[in-house]
Amino acid sequence: MDEQSSIAQVLRKAREAKQQSLRSAAADLGVNPSYLSRVENGARPPSANLRERAEGVYGIDADTLALSSGVVPEDVMEIIRQHPEVLAELRAKYG
């Protein structure tokens, strides 16, 4: 699964959990319905603004949205930079 389809699935599932139509969700998010449709279908990556709005509208954790977009939060990156040995531990435990 590529990064865009991952964030696409998170956003679609969040909208469906609220039982919102695409048009209603787009209005709440302040975007055009066709843009939201393309994002949810993985044809376009969501903008940073859309991800930020989705946090509030859907109550999705910022880290979840970042990770599903393929972005590792900066504080986590700093931990990994300072402790590269954790990569091997993570791979051994979860890989």
* pLDDT for position 5: 54
Evaluated on CA atoms 74, 76, 77, 79, the torsion sign reads positive
* pLDDT for position 70: 86
Backbone φ and ψ for 81, nearest 5 degrees, come out as -60, -40
pLDDT digits (tens, 9 = 90+) for 41-52: 999 989 989 999
Percent residues over pLDDT 90 in the chain = 77
pLDDT digits (tens, 9 = 90+) for 57-94: 999 998 888 889 888 999 999 999 999 999 999 999 99
Tell me the helix, strand and coil percentages in the chain, rounded to 5.
Answer: 70, 0, 30
**Which residues, 6 or more positions from 81, have their beta carbon under 8 angstroms from its beta carbon?**
none
Strands (E), 1-95: none
